[in-house]
Amino acid sequence: MGAPPETIQSYFSSVELAFGALERIFETEGIWVKRHNLIYETVKGHIAPLRHAFDCWRLNAWFADAFRIDTSDSGFPLFRHVLQLENDRKKLADKLGDLPKPDQIRD
């Protein structure tokens, strides 16, 4: 898993700066302007969801090479992955028992 290309990082940095600037503009506006400004009233309810959507998109770009969805399937996890997870769950106690005790790790 590597970092996304510099152009993608630059894009999301620019978007984050734009959101920050917009928040600063709204913070510096007076109470009267906030109550009577149609643009502010229209935009304020959409800023947080839009910002969260960009955060999700940024994370998707960061982890895109680490996660794959089988497009020939329904998009649900492949059955072999479910079996592998179940097998790992069954072996968990044995694997944890094989770990050294905390005192042994400290030495």
Q: How far is 19 from 50, CA to CA, in rounded Å?
A: 9
Who's near 75: CB < 8 A, 6+ residues apart?
69
- Domains of the chain: which residue ranges? 6-106
Lowest mean pLDDT segment, chosen from 13-22, 44-53, 70-79, 95-104: 70-79
Who's near 94: CB < 8 A, 6+ residues apart?
none
DSSP secondary structure of 10-40:
HHHHHHHHHHHHHHHHHHHS-HHHHHH-HHH
**What is the pLDDT of the chain when averaged over all its residues?**
77
pTM above 0.75, yes or no: no
- The residue that leads in pLDDT, 35 or 11, is 11
